[in-house]
Structures are given as C-alpha cells and as structure tokens.
C-alpha cells in the first residue's frame, strides 16, 4: 500500500533564501540534496566563519544549523546573526545524546530544534512553520505600507509635479522658493519598541502638526514612511529655516502617548542659480544628511553647510 506523503513535504519555496551550516560532510550533502528540491536559493557553509560571511552577504530568511556541545562557535554564530536580525528564522539540529541542559540552553536562540537522526516529517514541519511566519510578516509589512499615515498630504509623485510647476514660475518671476526635507529620528526603533500602532500615531500626529504650522499655499508631501517634504513658495532660505526650527520645537516638545518624546531632523535649501528640480531635492537631502550626521534633532541649511 502506497504511503500518503504529507503535502508540506512536496511544497517548493522559490522566494525563500536558506543558509545551511553543517560541518559533517555526509550530513551536509544529504541535507543539501533534500533542501535543493524545495528552495531555489540555498547557501551552504561547513563552519561558522563561512556561515557568518554568507549571512552578511546574502541575508537569507531561514538559517539551518547543526549544533553540538563541542561546537560553541556555532552558537556564537547564531548569536551574531540574531544581533543583526532578530526576526530571522533559525532551525537547529542536534544529537539525541546531547544533554538536556545544552538543549534547553540553545532553545533561546532557535525557532525550532530537530533531534538527530533527523525525522523528515518533523524537519519539514519546522520549515513550513518558519515559511508561514515569514509570509505572515511580509503580509503585515504590505498592509502597513498601504495604510494612509499622512492625512492632508500628497505622495512623492504629486509633490514632484507641484515642484516642477513652482520651479518654472520661479524662473519666470523674481520671488524665492525653498524646500524643507525632514525625517523622523530613529523611526524604526519606535516601531520595534512600541509597535506599528504607536508608529501610526507618530506619523499622523506629526503630519497634523506640520499642517497646522504651515501656510495655506505651502505644499506638504511624503516620501518613505518616515520622511516629509515641504514646498514653500515665495520663501527665502532664512525664513524656511525659521519654519523648520519651529516645527522641530513643536514636534520635540509634543508628548506622544505611551512613547514620550520624538524628534526630527531637517534639511533646508533655496532655489538659486537656476537649479533644476533634481538639484534642489539633492541639496535638501545633503543638508538633511548633515543634520543626521551631527547628532539629529537639528536644522541644516544647504548653502551654509557646504
């Protein structure tokens, strides 16, 4: 009678990258053949040094590591990888005869532990569980990215359209034009420490603070999740700096629920010497970079910084 093969044993995962670290040659080659049938992108290392290098270069999604009591270097490798990415999925294999204390110790560094000799059913159940977790986290990221955190602001494409029109008008006339680029300091740490709901609160609150401070003719746009652009028609650089400083103060003194204080960094530039749209945005980016390099929570004017 033919044996029914569990469905998860026949799955293939073309979008998942796997790193296998196994010192014993026979086991390494056997697992490689098994994994290669299911994963398009598979990296193999024979020791922890190779494993670290491959992880740093390719950032695989799942790490499969053989670990025994006399291979502490493998544990140190996993610790280092966890420091680089605490969300990476780690599957550890270890011998049945390793003592309970050692197995209990390595549990803290793994998502799954498979005892040797490896039972393929358990092994692929662990892989499927790790894949499910990766896919779930990717779905959450997509949903978070789709949420409108920026009420009353326009996206990067629309902002560029306004910018092109204002540059044309400035070239034809004599009035000034300035741009502010601002970025929330350490926004990813806010998400990591307090969750995406807290991140949403920060984004919507800062967007509201900006809208209340700027004039009706000013344009607020947003780029990546943690960055904003301000287009300021008929505004000289010094006046734009004043606006940026007032925003820095208002945001820095606002008390965010359950988070405390949040700061922003700013880069300011003025349309001068027939700059193009690209040059104008690059100058604002350079000035913002200077603010971040010099400690964040500050305003930098491009022409004064360079």
Between these two residues, 81 and 5, which has the higher pLDDT value? 81
Q: Answer whether residue 7 shows pLDDT above 70.
A: no
Please state which architecture CATH assigns to domain 7-145.
3-Layer(aba) Sandwich (3.40)
Q: Cα torsion at 54, 58, 64, 65 (round to 10°)?
A: 20
Pick from 139, 48, 26: nearest CA to 92: 48
Q: Answer whether residue 235 shows pLDDT above 70.
A: yes
SS3 of 277, please? helix
> pTM for this one?
0.51
Contact assessment for residue 284 and residue 181, using Cβ atoms and an 8 Å cutoff: yes
Pick from 167, 161, 281: nearest CA to 302: 281
Count other Cβ atoms within 10 Å, centred on residue 118.
Answer: 16
Q: In the chain, how many H helices and how many E strands? A: 11, 10
Contact assessment for residue 159 and residue 221, using Cβ atoms and an 8 Å cutoff: yes
Between these two residues, 303 and 299, which has the higher pLDDT value? 299
Looking at the domain 147-305, which fold is it? Alpha-Beta Plaits (3.30.70)
What is the distance between the alpha carbons of residues 288 and 20, in angstroms, rounded to a whole number?
A: 41
What is the distance between the alpha carbons of residues 105 and 95, in angstroms, rounded to a whole number?
A: 14
Category of 300 on φ-ψ map: left (φ > 0), alpha (ψ -120 to 50) or beta: beta
Q: Answer whether residue 3 shows pLDDT above 70.
A: no
Domains of the chain by residue range: 7-145, 147-305
Contact assessment for residue 63 and residue 88, using Cβ atoms and an 8 Å cutoff: yes
Residue 162 burial (10 A CB sphere; 0-12, 13-18, 19+):
middle
Fold equal for 7-145 and 147-305:
no
Q: Beta partners for 299?
A: 266
What is the distance between the alpha carbons of residues 290 and 278, in angstroms, rounded to a whole number?
A: 18
pLDDT tens for 48-68 read 999 999 999 999 999 999 987
pLDDT tens for 126-167 read 999 999 888 877 765 655 444 445 555 556 667 767 777 777
**% of the chain exceeding 70 in pLDDT:** 84
């Amino acid at each position: 009678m033919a044996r029914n093969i569990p469905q998860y044993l026949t799955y293939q995962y073309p979008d998942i990258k796997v790193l296998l670290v196994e010192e014993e040659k026979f086991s390494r080659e056997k697992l490689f053949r098994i994994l290669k049938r299911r994963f398009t992108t598979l990296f193999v290392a024979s020791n922890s040094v190779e494993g670290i290098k491959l992880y740093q270069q390719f950032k695989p999604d799942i790490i499969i590591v053989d670990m025994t009591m006399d291979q502490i270097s493998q544990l140190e490798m996993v610790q280092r990888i966890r420091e680089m990415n605490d969300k990476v999925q780690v599957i550890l294999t270890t011998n049945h005869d390793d003592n309970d204390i050692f197995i209990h110790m390595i549990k803290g560094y793994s998502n799954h532990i498979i005892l040797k000799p490896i039972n393929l059913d358990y092994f692929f159940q662990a892989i499927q569980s790790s894949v499910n977790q990766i896919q779930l986290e990717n779905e959450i990221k997509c949903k978070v990215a789709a949420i409108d955190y920026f009420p009353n602001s326009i996206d990067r494409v629309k902002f560029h359209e306004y910018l092109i029109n204002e540059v044309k008008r400035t070239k034809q006339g004599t009035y000034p034009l300035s741009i502010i680029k601002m970025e929330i300091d350490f926004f990813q740490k806010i998400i990591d420490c307090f969750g995406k709901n807290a991140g949403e609160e920060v984004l919507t609150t800062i967007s509201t603070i900006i809208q209340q401070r700027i004039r009706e003719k000013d344009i607020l746009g947003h780029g990546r999740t943690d960055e904003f652009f301000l287009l300021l028609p008929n505004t000289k650089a010094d006046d734009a700096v004043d606006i940026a400083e007032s925003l820095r103060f208002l945001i820095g003194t606002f008390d965010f629920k359950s988070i405390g204080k949040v700061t922003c960094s700013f880069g300011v530039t003025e349309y001068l010497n027939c700059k193009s749209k690209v040059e104008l945005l690059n100058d604002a980016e350079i000035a913002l970079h200077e603010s971040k390099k010099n400690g964040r929570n500050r305003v930098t004017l491009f022409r004064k910084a360079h």
